[in-house]
Chains A and B, each alone.
Chain A
Amino acid sequence: MSVVLQEPVLQEAPIRSRRGIVLETIRRRPSAAIGATLLVLVLLGAVLAPVLAPYDLHKQVGPVFGHPSWSHPLGLDDGGIDMVTLLMWGARISLVVGFAATLVSMLIGGTVGVAAGYFGGKTDTILMRITDYFLVIPDVPLMIIVAAIWGPSLFHIVIVIGILLWTSTARVIRAQVKSVRERVYVKRAQAIGAGHARIVLRHVLPQVAPLLIANTVLTIAVAIFDETALSFLGLGDPSRISLGKVIENAFQRAAISTGAWWAIVPPGALVALIILSCSLIGQALEDALNPRLRVAHLSARRFRLRPLVGRGSEAL
């Protein structure tokens, strides 16, 4: 009697391109695709507001707090302005604030993270210590104060949000740069005399850029939330109608006691939708790109604390 021993089949893990990783994530986590679709829809609506918006943003087209009807599917606000029009233009401003603030925070966080991770030693210690301090400043109160002292304007909001939100980006990027910097091709580039600038720009940045972008998507969500909060407290730019401003107006003009729920439910739901899709996309991207997260014991704190609770998730 002979036993046929089967050769153990060694399955080689296929080497995947970066695009392959992204597609794979989308297949495994359809939530990312849903998030992306939603965000693209909102973006389209916002970008095309001048073309698509059914009415004039500054013109009264019906009664104050007019009920939803066929011609105004979401009703009218306290000035008799069509809600759909208001939402499209509002999303435009909210998204601009979100993207601009994120750009600021990405620039600061990316620079600090790369510098700390690449140079290491004293630079690292000092930069990370500064990051620690920024981490404990409660963002909403500081924004309130700056907006109150400097005066409310879109530019101030963008700057303040950007200056406060870069800490977690810096931390994630630093960890990644630290590992990239030890790789052989970086050492070789150093050996043949490449300068710091060249190594960072040509060899390190391309490796961390995807992670930077994943982190950025999460920051957009936080920035949009913060803008909404500031507007609600009456510190938004009075000349620009953002989604936060729409909520504030409805609240101040007693939409609730009038029973005009349509003036207050849709703008908040839209903000929630934007934040939700950003979180879904950001997490899926981070899962796919951040090698730390694939190691089980490093993956615990995936979820960034929302602004209500500050930016403390990476503070441990």
Chain B
Amino acid sequence: MRGADYVIKRLGFAVVTVFVAISLNFALFRLAPGSAVSNLARVPHATPELHQALKREFGLDKSKGAQYVIYLKQLVRGNLGVSFENQQPVSHNLWVALKNTLPMVLLGTLFSIVLGTLTGVVAAWRRGTAVEGATVTTALGFYSMPTHWLGLMLVILFSGVLPTGGMTNDFLINPSFWTHLKDLAAHIALPSLTLGLVLYGEYTLIVRSAMLETLGEDYILTARAKGLRPWAILRRHALRNAMLPIATLVALSLGYIVAGAILVETVFSWPGIGRAVYEAVLQRDYPMLQGGFLLLTISVVFFNLVADLLYFKLDPRITQ
């Protein structure tokens, strides 16, 4: 199989998966019993015009099959309906929330990748020593903690030192750019740290086993026999090869992080996508819930594709 074939195949899989996700989304909500869930036009306090417009847009008086086709058409145009809660288009709400989630998630992920790779490499290199024992035990500890509980522990530890809720201090009136930035940094610290610590445990374990695997390969023995310095062996021979599974796993996990942010954002009232989903659950805001789920699934599929393509880029042997 040639390279292009591989890429096309993975792309095709991603497209089909998105389609399956969309259909699942439709089935879950529209085929649910009772109009409370399936009736997209049931926006509270909406004007009769809005009711009529929504009914027309989504063909709510037509058969389910016709509704499915209309749903697909509206989706292509980015129309996900209107939120029950604030009567704004769902796509608009989601976009605002996503913009808040991304910096927090990226910061946490960056933290965990740097720390996790470092400790994972050290653990594998110092195999069988107390260093490895301590590193692995710590990592396993963080790996086992429920995400929201770890967040609450950080709230208890840092309450009074760092802000534990929201994204900005609402009492700052017309802050200068720097004050605003400092305020944001203080607010982002705890949620990012929570996410980072949970992921750090996991990345350490992954990096360690990937490193152990490469360190057992014959070419490492050859490198040792040639008398290369340990650092050169580690960096040029072991780490480069271990990066293969690490890079793909990290890319893969990115997709789920957005979904996982639900717990972190709920603890810290971070106004992101996870919090939006949580609020939608509390308010039974079904159009919002439906849109949120679609966005989260698509992000997973997208990063899956990224992982596949990354693997192909790093290791062209995959197509043989």
Q: Which A residues contact B (CB, under 8 angstroms)? A: 132-133, 136-138, 140-142, 144-146, 148-149, 221, 225, 228-229, 232-235, 244, 247, 251, 256, 261, 264-265, 267-268, 271-273, 275-276, 279-280, 296-297, 299-303, 305-310, 312-313, 315-316
Q: Which one of B146, B206, B217 has the greatest number of beta carbons of chain A within 10 Å?
A: B146
Measured CA separation A276–B137 after assembly (Å): 10
A261: chain B residues at CB < 8 Å are: 156
Looking at the assembled complex, report how far the CB atom of B316 sits from the nearest CB atom of chain A, in whole angstroms: 16
Looking at the assembled complex, report how far the CB atom of A314 sits from the nearest CB atom of chain B, in whole angstroms: 10
Query: Could you say which of A144, A276, A308, A309 contacts B141, with CB atoms under 8 Å apart?
Result: A276
B304: chain A residues at CB < 8 Å are: 136, 312, 315
B144 touches A272 (CB 8 A): yes
Query: Could you say which of B13, B20, B206, B266 contacts A301, with CB atoms under 8 Å apart?
Result: B206
A305-B202 CB under 8 A given contacts A276-B144, A312-B256: yes
Query: Could you say which of A136, A279, A280 contacts B17, with CB atoms under 8 Å apart?
Result: A136
B256 touches A316 (CB 8 A): no
Looking at the assembled complex, report how far the CB atom of B32 sits from the nearest CB atom of chain A, in whole angstroms: 5
B297 touches A138 (CB 8 A): yes
Looking at the assembled complex, report how far the CB atom of A43 sits from the nearest CB atom of chain B, in whole angstroms: 17
Query: Could you say which of A221, A256, A313 contacts B249, with CB atoms under 8 Å apart?
Result: A313
The answer to whether B152 has its CB under 8 Å from any CB of chain A is yes
User: Smallest CB-CB separation from A224: which chain B residue?
Assistant: B146
Measured CA separation A256–B278 after assembly (Å): 21
Interface with A: B57-65, B174-182, B281-289, which one?
A: B281-289
User: Smallest CB-CB separation from B28: which chain A residue?
Assistant: A145
User: Smallest CB-CB separation from B25: which chain A residue?
Assistant: A145
A306-B281 CB under 8 A given contacts A146-B28, A299-B213, A301-B245: no
B213: chain A residues at CB < 8 Å are: 296-297, 299-300
Looking at the assembled complex, report how far the CB atom of A226 sits from the nearest CB atom of chain B, in whole angstroms: 10
A contact patch SS:
helix
Measured CA separation A140–B289 after assembly (Å): 13
Measured CA separation A138–B281 after assembly (Å): 16
Measured CA separation A300–B210 after assembly (Å): 5
The answer to whether B43 has its CB under 8 Å from any CB of chain A is no
Query: Could you say which of B145, B255, B281 contacts A310, with CB atoms under 8 Å apart?
Result: B255
B145 touches A132 (CB 8 A): no
B281 touches A232 (CB 8 A): no
B297 touches A308 (CB 8 A): no
B262 touches A309 (CB 8 A): no
Q: Which B residues contact A (CB, under 8 angstroms)? A: 13, 17, 20-21, 24, 28-29, 32, 37, 140-141, 143-150, 152-153, 155-156, 159, 198-199, 202, 205-206, 209-210, 212-213, 216-217, 245, 248-249, 252-253, 255-257, 259-260, 262-263, 266-267, 277-278, 281-282, 284, 289, 292-293, 296-297, 300-301, 304, 307, 311
The 7 lowest CB-CB distance pairs between A and B, nearest first, are A268-B149, A308-B260, A310-B256, A138-B259, A276-B144, A275-B144, A309-B256
Measured CA separation A279–B260 after assembly (Å): 20
Measured CA separation A146–B24 after assembly (Å): 12
A308 touches B198 (CB 8 A): yes
Measured CA separation A149–B212 after assembly (Å): 46
B147: chain A residues at CB < 8 Å are: 229, 308
A137-B297 CB under 8 A given contacts A300-B213, A300-B245: yes
B256 touches A234 (CB 8 A): no
User: Smallest CB-CB separation from B216: which chain A residue?
Assistant: A296
A309 touches B260 (CB 8 A): yes
List 7 additional A-B contacts (Cβ < 8 Å) besides A244-B146, A251-B152, A308-B256. A136-B301, A256-B155, A272-B141, A276-B140, A296-B217, A303-B206, A306-B143
User: Smallest CB-CB separation from B292: which chain A residue?
Assistant: A141
Query: Could you say which of B140, B206, B259 contacts A140, with CB atoms under 8 Å apart?
Result: B259
Looking at the assembled complex, report how far the CB atom of B141 sits from the nearest CB atom of chain A, in whole angstroms: 7
A229: chain B residues at CB < 8 Å are: 146-148, 262-263
A247-B205 CB under 8 A given contacts A276-B141, A301-B249, A305-B256: no
B152 touches A312 (CB 8 A): no
Looking at the assembled complex, report how far the CB atom of B147 sits from the nearest CB atom of chain A, in whole angstroms: 5
Measured CA separation A136–B20 after assembly (Å): 11
Q: Which one of A146, A268, A279 has the greatest number of beta carbons of chain B within 10 Å?
A: A268
User: Smallest CB-CB separation from A308: which chain B residue?
Assistant: B260
A149 touches B37 (CB 8 A): yes
A265 touches B148 (CB 8 A): no
A276: chain B residues at CB < 8 Å are: 140-141, 144
A146: chain B residues at CB < 8 Å are: 28
A141-B296 CB under 8 A given contacts A268-B152, A301-B209: yes
Measured CA separation A247–B217 after assembly (Å): 46
User: Smallest CB-CB separation from A265: which chain B residue?
Assistant: B153
A228: chain B residues at CB < 8 Å are: 146, 148-149
Measured CA separation A81–B202 after assembly (Å): 36
Q: What are 15 A-B residue pairs whose CB atoms fall within 8 Å in the complex? A: A137-B297, A140-B259, A141-B293, A141-B297, A228-B148, A256-B152, A268-B152, A272-B141, A272-B145, A275-B144, A297-B217, A299-B213, A308-B260, A310-B259, A316-B311
B141 touches A306 (CB 8 A): no
Looking at the assembled complex, report how far the CB atom of A216 sits from the nearest CB atom of chain B, in whole angstroms: 18
A309 touches B257 (CB 8 A): yes
B266 touches A232 (CB 8 A): yes
A247: chain B residues at CB < 8 Å are: 146, 148-149, 152
Measured CA separation A57–B93 after assembly (Å): 43
Measured CA separation A267–B146 after assembly (Å): 10
A234 touches B282 (CB 8 A): yes
Measured CA separation A235–B199 after assembly (Å): 25
B143: chain A residues at CB < 8 Å are: 279, 303, 306
B198: chain A residues at CB < 8 Å are: 306, 308
B296: chain A residues at CB < 8 Å are: 138, 141
